[in-house]
């Protein structure tokens, strides 16, 4: 059973999300928070697998709450917002979020996203990836992440992850087995202290390994 915590300052939306999540097999809501402070506190107590986190909330916004939750617990955060803005995409993923969805996402897609994030993967939809790339294009130049310990082959894998390729596609492109690709990804996660695929994408851009090609 995947345990879900809902954090949103609008009671009606929290209630709607609760009904939706509790109606899905294998998912259960373990708590609701009306602001970031409450979300952090409840996460410490309830230990959910996934936190559905609103961006704009009183007391403490969703970005700061995400940063604290990811630093203090193993919970994974799926950001939800009505604001489709670059700054939120970058800030949310940089804070440790494993996914980013708009609140007008179809119910079935939201439930699928929860499962994806709970499984330890990251949810990077093409539209979100484009915004993330655009945000990097606007940042001051200069690598932040160092790749000294990353091998040449691992850098190839990291580049393809940042370009949005799946494990199967990476395996085909580099003529590797799926198990080998997963091994490389596991080593990258360890060496770059990354929680998941979303963090690897950020590392690839911040290191300068991959350059923004979209606007």
Mean predicted confidence (pLDDT) in 51-76: 90
Mean predicted confidence (pLDDT) in 198-207: 80
What is the model's pTM? 0.70
In sequence order, the β-bridge partners of residue 80 are: 54, 101
What is the predicted pLDDT for the residue at 214?
Answer: 45
Distance, in Å, from the CA atom of 150 to the CA atom of 52, rounded to the nearest integer, reads 33
Mean predicted confidence (pLDDT) in 13-40: 94
**Average pLDDT, whole number, for the chain?**
84
Q: Is the separation of the CB atoms in 192 and 201 below 8 Å? A: no
Give the model's confidence band at 156: pLDDT under 50 very low, under 70 low, under 90 confident, else very high: very high
Chain centroid to Cα 141, Å, comes to: 24
Mean predicted confidence (pLDDT) in 144-148: 76
Looking at the predicted structure, is the pLDDT value of residue 159 above 50? yes
Phi, psi of 30 (to 5 degrees): -110, 0
């Amino acid at each position: 059973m995947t345990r879900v915590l809902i954090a949103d300052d609008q009671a009606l939306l929290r209630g709607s999300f609760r009904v939706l999540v509790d109606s899905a097999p294998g998912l259960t809501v373990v708590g609701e928070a009306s602001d970031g402070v409450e979300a952090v506190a409840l996460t410490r107590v309830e230990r959910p697998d996934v936190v559905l986190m609103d961006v704009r909330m009183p007391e403490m916004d969703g970005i700061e709450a995400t940063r604290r939750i990811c630093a203090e617990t193993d919970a994974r955060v799926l950001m939800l917002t009505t604001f489709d803005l670059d700054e939120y995409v970058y800030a949310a993923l940089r804070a440790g979020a494993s996914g980013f969805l708009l609140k007008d996402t179809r119910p079935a897609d939201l439930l699928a996203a929860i499962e994806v994030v709970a499984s330890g993967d990251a949810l990077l939809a093409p539209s979100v990836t484009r915004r993330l790339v655009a945000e990097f294009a606007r940042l001051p130049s200069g690598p932040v992440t160092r790749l000294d310990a990353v091998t040449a082959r691992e850098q190839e894998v990291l580049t393809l992850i940042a370009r949005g390729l799946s494990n199967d596609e990476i395996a085909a492109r580099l003529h590797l087995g799926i198990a080998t690709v997963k091994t490389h990804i596991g080593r990258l996660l360890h060496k770059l202290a990354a929680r998941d695929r979303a963090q690897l994408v950020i590392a690839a851009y911040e290191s300068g390994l991959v350059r923004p090609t979209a606007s």
